[in-house]
């Protein structure tokens, strides 16, 4: 464990560093857009980058609790809400770019969602993220109580759907989707004892300030 001084410095730097890390993919994409670094098909490249970042942040969100349990460093809990909301932000960007690429043609988009499973799965994942983002406030935690925890366990389903969406989208090289799938399975394996023993490990109490995140599960 770090010394008290080092721990205090890490605590102060944790959120600013997370903000920088979450915004870096967007800044890099904007830079590439102005410097011609998006390749021959910039729309496809930006769509891929935003989706990839959203899925990466979902996995990072799921990793917070196991990492906190393994290290015993409780300040990590502060990152759950931030990472979860940024995952939602990039997922919305991903979908918005898709809509723009289709010319905001509602009829075509509905047909695409119905006919192509990878679009259906991705759209479903985005819809499930909406209530998680909306109820990420402390007020929602207090109002929903135990129902809040049950609701936010949907993050597992969202992450799984994100992996499936990526896998079905990629037609040839499925290395990256399989890597995401492996990470997801490892994170779920690490969470199994936490979920199974949650009632034994946690005394019954109302959610505290430290639990104000969209993935407190």
Contact (CB, 8 A) for 194 and 187: no
Calculate the alpha carbon distances from 175 to 55, 90, 162, 163, 166 in Å.
15, 22, 15, 12, 11
Give pTM, 2 decimals.
0.85
Q: Decide if 210 is inside a domain.
A: no
Question: How many whole angstroms separate alpha carbon 10 and alpha carbon 30?
Answer: 29
Per-residue pLDDT reduced to its tens digit, 112-161: 888 999 999 999 999 999 999 999 888 988 898 888 888 999 999 999 99
Mean pLDDT of the chain: 86
Is residue 199 in a domain?
no
* Residue 37 covered by a domain: yes
Tally of domains in the chain: 1
In a domain, 24, yes or no: yes
Please state, as a whole number, how many other Cβ atoms lie within 10 Å of the Cβ of residue 107.
Answer: 8
Q: Are 149 and 205 in contact (CB under 8 A)?
A: no
Q: Is residue 203 part of a domain?
A: no
In a domain, 158, yes or no: yes
The model's pLDDT over 64-104, given as tens digits with 9 standing for 90+, comes to 988 888 888 888 888 999 999 999 999 999 999 999 988 88
In a domain, 77, yes or no: yes
Is 178 contained in some domain? yes
Range of the domain at 52: 4-194
């Amino acid at each position: 464990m770090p010394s008290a001084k080092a721990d205090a410095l890490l605590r102060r730097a944790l959120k600013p560093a997370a903000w920088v890390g979450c915004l870096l993919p967007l800044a890099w994409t904007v830079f590439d857009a102005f410097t011609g670094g998006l390749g021959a098909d910039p729309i496809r490249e930006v769509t891929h980058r935003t989706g990839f970042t959203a899925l990466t942040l979902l996995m990072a969100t799921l990793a917070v609790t196991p990492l906190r349990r393994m290290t015993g460093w409780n300040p990590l809990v502060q990152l759950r809400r931030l990472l979860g909301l940024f995952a939602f932000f990039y997922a919305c960007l991903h979908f918005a770019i898709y809509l723009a690429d289709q010319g905001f043609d509602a009829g075509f988009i509905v047909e695409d969602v119905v006919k192509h499973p990878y679009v259906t799965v991705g759209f479903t994942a985005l819809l499930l993220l909406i209530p998680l983002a909306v109820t990420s406030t402390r007020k929602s935690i207090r109002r929903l109580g135990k129902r809040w925890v049950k609701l936010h366990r949907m993050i597992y389903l969202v992450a799984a759907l994100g992996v499936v969406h990526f896998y079905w989208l990629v037609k040839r090289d499925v290395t990256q989707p399989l890597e995401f799938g492996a990470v997801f399975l490892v994170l779920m394996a690490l969470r199994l004892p936490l979920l199974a023993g949650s009632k034994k490990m946690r005394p019954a109490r109302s959610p505290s300030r430290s639990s104000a995140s969209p993935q407190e599960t």
